[in-house]
Amino acid sequence: MTLLILGLILFLGTHAFTMARGPRSNLVARLGEGPYKGLYTLLSLAGVVLISIGYGRYRAAGYVPVWDPPVWTRHLSLLLVWFAFVAFVAAYLPGRIKSTLKHPMLAGVKIWAFAHLIANGDLGSIILFGSFLAWAVAARISVKRRDEVVPHGGPAEPPRGLRNDAFAIAIGTVVYIAFAVWLHPWLIGVAVLPGQA
């Protein structure tokens, strides 16, 4: 659990630092854009590694139950995670999905974290996914405030219609299926679909 918490502090702390625009600008000015991005990437990767190792060790030592989610939350979670994958892809394909969600990457993280929170009632999962949900909510509030203070220059990019939305849904669905069927059991060690070993 200690490694998991340290990893979350490192990964989410690095990402939360970008919300502090003044200190971030000062650090970029001192280090330079390239070194700053390099340090940011290294700290983020170190956080991911610590989260992975910490959560793996936590699961190997045995879950610490907090509450017992009803079965229907697992089915709802599968649907929500699919939408999160679509949102992740839509972040890179301007269309109606992106314009509706405004910040689809953050929306995807919130949906993904919430989906895992309702389907997992153990302490480690609550800490892990609750931390990501809290960060994504704080990041969205920060972005909204920043946009209100300094509106984006130039006209807003118009949605490109249904074509990009169709691509986002198709690509998100394919990646979601691959992750649910093969990658989640292989990488995480947890089967997510009924009937999986």
Q: Which residues contact 75 (CB under 8 A, 6 or more apart)?
A: none
Contact 129, 116 (CB under 8 A): yes
- Mean pLDDT calculated for residue range 108-128: 97
Q: How far is CA 184 from the centre of its chain?
A: 15
Contact 23, 17 (CB under 8 A): yes
State residue 195's pLDDT score.
66
Q: How many CB atoms lie within 10 A of CB 151?
A: 9
Token digits of residue 162: 């249904």
pLDDT digits (tens, 9 = 90+) for 28-37: 999 999 999 9
pLDDT digits (tens, 9 = 90+) for 36-88: 999 999 999 999 999 999 999 999 999 999 999 999 999 999 999 999 999 99
Share of the chain above pLDDT 90, in %: 77
